[in-house]
C-alpha cells in the first residue's frame, strides 16, 4: 500500500528519501511499502522563527537536458553570464478536505465518499486498492432523477450506508414513495437497494454512470489525476484499461443494457407494493479477487476487549478504536504472518515506523501479537554493515512546528524498538520470541551508544541540528529499558547504558530547564551554541513517559520531583489544556495556531501519553481533565478519533473543530483510545515474574468501569475500577499473582 504523507510529515522527501514532484507542505507521497531511508541532508540554517521552506536546504541548480546542471551561454573567455531570473516560489498544493468525507477502510482497500452518497469523481471520491483509484465515478439515477440524500453514516470501519428518497407520484403529497439505500464497502462492493413504500407496483428504470482514471491517490490529491479513461463492455459490466493497470466493474443481476461510450449500466426493476430490489456492483483490478482484510476473525492480532460502566462513551470509544485498528492492519510482504499498522487513511496508508511502534506499544493491553509482528517487520529494515548508521531503523523527516527544523523519525523508531520489546516481554511476549528479536534491539542500543559516544546528549542526525528535549526522553527510556532487557538475557552492556542514563539525568535537569517567573519549564531544545528554545509544547509529555520496568515499577524520569510537578501544572493549565485535549503548542506561545498540526492542534497520541504519564506520577487532577476532554471530543466525532483536531478552547455547548487534513482513522489515535481507558486501571504486568500490579486512577473520572477481554501473560485479563477508585482483578492467567 503506498505511503502518503499528512501534515505530520515534512515534505522535502518522500518516505524513501526521494524528491517529491509538484507538491509542497502539506504533501502527498506515493512511496510504496518500501522502508524509508533516514534523511542525512544538511541542516536547516535557522532554528527559530519561520518554518523552513518546504523544499529545504539550498535551491537546486536549474536542470538542462539529460538532467545535467544548466550552464551559461557560451561567450568570450571570462565573460560574466547574465544573472539568472529570480526563482518563482511554488504555490503550496491544496489538499482536498478529508474532514467531511466518509472513509471506509479495510487495507489495502479504501472507499472515500461525501455525505451525498454519489461518487462524482471530484476530490478524493472513489474506490481505491493499494493506493490506486479503481473507480472514481458511480452516480445512480432512478427514472432519470438523482435521489435526494437524507442520511450518510459509517456503519463499521469498512462500511458506510447512504439513504436517499424519491417522490415518484405527483399525487402522493410530500411523502417519498421510493427509498434508495446504498451500502458501500472498502473491499470494492456496493449494494444499491430500492424500496417501494407506495401502495401500487412500480416499474423503475435505474441507471448507474461509471468512470475511472486509474490514478494514484497522490496524483488525485494534488490535482494531477488526468481524464477519465474510455470504457469497454466486459462480462456483466465495464472495463477500463490504462498504462498503469486495468479495472472492472461487474454487476449482479446483469444489466439490461451496457453502454461503453457513456460508461452506463441500465436496469428495469419491477417493485411490488412494499417490495425491494437490489443491484450489487463489484469493483476489482482486472483479474484480482476480493480483498481479505488482515483484521478479521482469528487472524486479527488485536484482542476484542470491552468496556462497561457508568460512562457509555467508554465502550463506544473502545469499540470504534478496535475497528479502526483492525481496518489499518497490513501484512509484511516479506513475511505475511507478520502484521503491523498503517499510519492512517487517507494520506498515510503504508508503514510509518515510529507511528507503527508507538501504536503497537499503546495496544499492548490487547496482546503482544501486533507488537511482535511490527518488531519483526522493522527488524528486517534495520541498517547493517559498518558505519555510523549501523543499527538504525530508517524513517522519514517530520515537521515539528515553527520553532525547530524537521526531526528524523528514524531516530525515534530506533529508540522505540528496544522499549517496545522490553515492555512486550512484561505484558507476556514469550521468551523465545523475545530472544529472537533481542539481537535487533541490541543493534538499536549499540547505535545509541555509538552515536552519543563521549557526549551526554543524543544530537540531531543532521550536523548542526539542535539537541531536542523529546529525543533525550526517548533515548533515556531506551537506555533504561534496554539495560533491563539485556540483563534479563545475561547480555553485556546494561551497566554502561544505566551509567549513561544517570549522567543524562544529572545534566538534563540543569541544561534543559528554562527558569522564568512562573516557576520554569523544560526547554524544547538546545541549539548547538547552548541557547535554549524555551517554547512549551506537547513534546514535553515524553518526559513523563519513562517506561515499564519489573515488579510494576516505572523507570526514573529525566526531571526531578519539583520539575515534574511544575510540568504537570503547565500541562493542566489553560494554555495547554484546551478542554478537548492537550494542545501541541501552548496558546500563549508565539506562532500558536489552533489548527497547526505541531503548533496548537490537539494530537490525540500526545494527549494519551500525557494522561498516562500524569496519572503514573500522581497528578490525577490534570490527567483526569485531559482524559475527559478527549472523551468529549470523541463523542463529537462519532467516537472515531482523528489524529488531530483544532485546539480551540472548549465552551459550553460547543463541539471540537475538525482539522481538514487529518487522517481518520489514524493508528496512533485509535491506539491512544486504548491507552486512555486502560490507564484508568493502571495495569502494570511483569509476566516473567508472574505478577501484575494495579495503580488505578483513584479519582475515578469516569465512575465505575470494567475492562474485559484484555490480554496479560498470554491469557484473558479483566479488571474493574469502582467509583471509589479501587481496582479488582476479575479474570487472569493461572498462577498470575497480584503485586503490591
Per-residue pLDDT tens over the stretch 218-237:
999 988 999 999 999 998 99
Confidence of residue 351 (pLDDT cuts 50, 70, 90): very high
pLDDT score at 7: 39
Cα–Cα distance for residue pair 157/329, rounded to 1 Å:
12
Span 709-723, average pLDDT: 97
The answer to whether residues 232 and 239 touch, using CB atoms and an 8 Å cutoff, is yes
Instruction: Reply yes or no on whether the pLDDT at 580 is more than 50.
Output: yes
For residue 99, count CB atoms less than 10 angstroms from its CB and return exposed for 0-12, middle for 13-18, buried for 19 or more. middle
pLDDT score at 170: 73
Between 226 and 288, the more confident residue is 226
Which residue is listed with cell 494554555? 575
Q: Around 249, how many Cα atoms within 13 Å sit in the side-chain half-sphere?
A: 33
Share of the chain above pLDDT 90, in %: 79
Question: Taking the model in full, what pTM does it have?
Answer: 0.88
Between 697 and 43, the more confident residue is 697
Instruction: Reply yes or no on whether the pLDDT at 238 is more than 80.
Output: yes
Instruction: Reply yes or no on whether the pLDDT at 88 is more than 50.
Output: no
pLDDT score at 332: 93
Question: CB within 8 A of 697, min separation 6: which ones?
Answer: 615, 620, 623, 624, 679, 680, 682, 721, 725
Instruction: Reply yes or no on whether the pLDDT at 361 is more than 60.
Output: yes
pLDDT score at 463: 86
Instruction: Reply yes or no on whether the pLDDT at 663 is more than 80.
Output: yes
pLDDT score at 292: 74
pLDDT score at 287: 72
pLDDT score at 93: 57
Asked which of 70-74, 371-375, 414-418, 556-560 is least confident by mean pLDDT, the reply is 70-74
Between 150 and 244, the more confident residue is 150
The answer to whether residues 275 and 595 touch, using CB atoms and an 8 Å cutoff, is no
Share of the chain above pLDDT 70, in %: 87
Confidence of residue 295 (pLDDT cuts 50, 70, 90): low
Confidence of residue 55 (pLDDT cuts 50, 70, 90): very low
Instruction: Reply yes or no on whether the pLDDT at 152 is more than 50.
Output: yes
pLDDT score at 56: 33
Between 111 and 57, the more confident residue is 111
Confidence of residue 386 (pLDDT cuts 50, 70, 90): confident
What are residue 528's phi and psi, to 5 degrees?
Answer: -55, -25
pLDDT score at 168: 87
What are residue 418's phi and psi, to 5 degrees?
Answer: -65, -30
Instruction: Reply yes or no on whether the pLDDT at 562 is more than 70.
Output: yes
3-state secondary structure of 583: strand
Span 370-393, average pLDDT: 94
pLDDT score at 171: 72
3-state secondary structure of 332: strand
> What does the pLDDT look like over 473-485, one tens digit per residue?
999 999 999 999 9
Confidence of residue 454 (pLDDT cuts 50, 70, 90): confident
Cα–Cα distance for residue pair 197/57, rounded to 1 Å:
65
Instruction: Reply yes or no on whether the pLDDT at 28 is more than 70.
Output: no
What are residue 527's phi and psi, to 5 degrees?
Answer: -80, 165
Confidence of residue 286 (pLDDT cuts 50, 70, 90): confident
Question: CB within 8 A of 309, min separation 6: which ones?
Answer: 702, 703, 704, 705, 706
Asked which of 202-206, 295-299, 509-513, 725-729 is least confident by mean pLDDT, the reply is 295-299
- What is the residue-averaged pLDDT of the chain? 87
> What does the pLDDT look like over 508-534, one tens digit per residue?
999 999 999 999 999 999 998 899 999
pLDDT score at 43: 34
pLDDT score at 293: 73
Between 274 and 82, the more confident residue is 274
Span 658-681, average pLDDT: 97
Name the H helices within 205-352. Answer: 217-221, 312-327
C-alpha cell at 712: 496479560
pLDDT score at 614: 98
pLDDT score at 13: 33
C-alpha cell at 559: 526531571
Instruction: Reply yes or no on whether the pLDDT at 83 is more than 80.
Output: no
Span 544-557, average pLDDT: 95
Name the H helices within 263-382. Answer: 312-327, 353-362, 369-379
pLDDT score at 44: 32
pLDDT score at 172: 66
Between 170 and 609, the more confident residue is 609
Instruction: Reply yes or no on whether the pLDDT at 45 is more than 70.
Output: no
Instruction: Reply yes or no on whether the pLDDT at 19 is more than 80.
Output: no
pLDDT score at 17: 30
Instruction: Reply yes or no on whether the pLDDT at 188 is more than 70.
Output: yes
Amino acid at each position: 500500500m503506498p505511503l502518503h504523507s499528512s501534515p505530520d510529515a515534512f515534505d522535502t522527501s518522500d518516505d524513501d528519501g526521494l524528491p517529491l514532484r509538484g507538491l509542497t507542505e502539506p504533501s502527498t507521497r506515493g512511496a510504496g511499502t518500501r522502508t524509508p531511508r533516514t534523511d542525512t541532508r544538511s541542516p536547516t540554517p535557522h532554528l527559530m522563527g519561520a518554518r523552513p521552506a518546504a523544499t529545504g536546504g539550498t535551491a537546486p541548480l536549474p536542470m538542462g537536458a539529460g538532467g545535467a546542471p544548466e550552464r551559461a551561454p557560451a561567450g568570450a573567455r571570462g565573460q560574466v553570464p547574465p544573472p539568472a531570473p529570480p526563482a518563482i516560489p511554488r504555490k503550496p498544493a491544496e489538499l482536498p478536505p478529508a474532514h467531511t468525507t466518509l472513509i471506509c477502510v479495510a487495507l489495502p482497500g479504501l472507499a472515500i465518499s461525501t455525505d451525498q452518497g454519489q461518487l462524482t469523481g471530484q476530490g478524493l471520491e472513489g474506490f481505491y486498492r493499494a493506493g490506486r483509484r479503481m473507480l472514481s465515478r458511480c452516480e445512480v439515477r432512478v427514472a432519470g432523477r438523482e435521489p435526494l440524500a437524507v442520511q450518510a453514516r459509517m456503519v463499521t470501519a469498512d462500511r458506510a450506508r447512504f439513504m436517499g428518497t424519491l417522490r415518484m407520484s405527483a399525487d402522493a403529497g410530500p411523502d417519498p414513495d421510493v427509498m434508495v439505500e446504498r451500502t458501500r464497502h472498502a473491499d470494492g462492493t456496493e449494494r444499491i437497494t430500492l424500496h417501494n413504500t407506495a401502495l401500487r407496483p412500480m416499474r423503475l428504470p435505474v441507471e448507474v454512470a461509471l468512470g475511472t482514471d486509474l490514478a494514484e491517490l497522490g496524483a488525485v490529491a494534488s490535482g494531477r489525476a488526468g481524464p477519465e479513461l474510455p470504457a469497454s463492455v466486459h462480462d456483466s459490466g465495464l472495463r477500463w484499461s490504462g498504462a498503469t493497470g486495468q479495472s472492472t466493474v461487474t454487476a449482479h443481476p446483469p444489466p439490461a443494457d451496457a453502454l461503453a461510450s457513456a460508461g452506463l449500466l441500465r436496469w428495469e426493476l419491477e417493485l411490488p407494493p412494499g417490495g425491494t430490489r437490489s443491484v450489487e456492483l463489484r469493483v476489482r483490478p482486472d483479474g484480482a479477487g476480493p480483498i481479505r482484510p488482515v483484521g478479521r476473525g482469528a487472524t486479527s492480532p488485536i484482542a476484542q476487549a470491552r468496556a462497561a460502566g457508568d460512562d457509555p462513551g467508554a465502550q463506544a470509544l473502545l469499540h470504534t478504536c478496535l475497528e479502526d485498528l483492525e481496518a489499518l492492519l497490513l501484512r509484511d510482504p516479506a513475511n505475511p504472518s507478520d502484521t503491523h499498522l498503517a499510519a492512517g487513511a487517507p494520506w498515510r496508508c503504508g508503514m510509518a515506523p515510529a507511528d507503527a511502534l508507538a501504536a503497537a506499544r499503546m495496544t499492548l493491553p490487547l496482546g503482544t501479537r501486533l507488537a511482535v509482528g511490527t518488531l519483526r517487520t522493522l527488524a528486517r529494515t534495520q541498517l547493517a554493515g559498518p558505519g555510523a548508521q549501523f543499527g538504525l531503523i530508517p524513517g522519514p523527516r517530520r515537521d515539528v512546528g515553527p520553532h525547530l527544523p524537521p526531526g528524523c523519525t528514524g531516530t525515534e523508531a530506533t529508540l522505540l524498538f528496544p522499549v517496545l520489546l522490553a515492555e512486550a516481554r512484561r505484558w507476556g511476549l514469550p521468551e523465545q520470541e523475545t530472544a529472537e528479536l533481542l539481537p535487533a534491539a541490541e543493534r538499536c542500543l549499540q547505535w545509541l551508544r555509538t552515536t552519543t559516544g563521549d557526549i551526554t546528549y543524543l544530537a540531531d542526525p543532521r550536523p548542526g541540528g539542535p539537541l531536542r528535549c523529546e529525543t533525550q526522553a526517548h533515548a533515556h527510556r531506551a537506555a533504561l529499558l534496554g539495560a533491563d532487557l539485556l540483563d534479563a538475557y545475561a547480555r553485556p552492556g546494561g551497566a554502561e547504558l544505566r551509567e549513561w542514563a544517570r549522567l543524562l539525568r544529572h545534566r538534563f535537569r540543569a541544561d534543559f530547564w528554562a527558569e522564568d517567573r512562573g516557576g520554569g519549564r523544560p526547554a524544547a531544545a538546545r541549539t548547538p551554541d547552548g541557547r535554549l528554545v524555551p517554547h512549551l509544547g506537547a513534546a514535553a509529555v515524553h518526559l513523563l513517559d519513562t517506561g515499564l520496568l519489573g515488579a510494576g515499577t516505572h523507570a526514573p524520569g529525566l526531571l526531578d520531583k519539583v520539575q515534574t510537578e511544575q510540568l504537570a501544572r503547565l500541562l493542566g493549565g489553560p494554555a495547554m489544556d484546551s478542554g478537548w485535549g492537550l494542545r501541541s503548542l501552548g496558546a500563549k506561545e508565539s506562532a500558536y495556531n489552533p489548527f497547526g498540526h505541531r503548533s496548537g492542534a490537539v494530537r490525540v497520541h500526545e494527549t494519551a501519553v500525557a494522561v498516562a504519564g500524569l496519572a503514573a506520577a500522581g497528578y490525577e487532577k490534570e490527567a483526569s481533565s485531559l482524559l475527559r476532554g478527549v472523551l468529549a471530543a470523541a463523542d463529537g466525532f462519532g467516537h472515531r478519533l482523528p489524529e488531530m483536531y483544532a485546539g480551540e478552547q472548549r465552551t459550553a455547548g460547543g463541539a471540537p473543530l475538525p482539522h481538514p487534513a487529518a487522517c481518520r482513522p489514524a493508528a496512533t489515535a485509535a491506539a491512544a483510545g486504548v491507552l486512555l481507558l486502560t490507564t484508568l486501571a493502571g495495569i502494570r504486568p511483569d509476566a516473567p515474574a508472574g505478577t501484575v500490579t494495579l495503580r488505578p486512577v483513584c479519582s475515578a473520572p469516569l465512575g465505575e468501569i470494567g475492562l474485559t477481554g484484555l490480554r496479560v501473560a498470554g491469557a484473558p485479563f479483566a479488571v474493574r475500577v469502582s467509583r471509589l477508585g479501587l481496582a479488582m482483578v476479575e479474570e487472569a492467567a493461572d498462577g498470575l499473582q497480584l503485586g503490591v
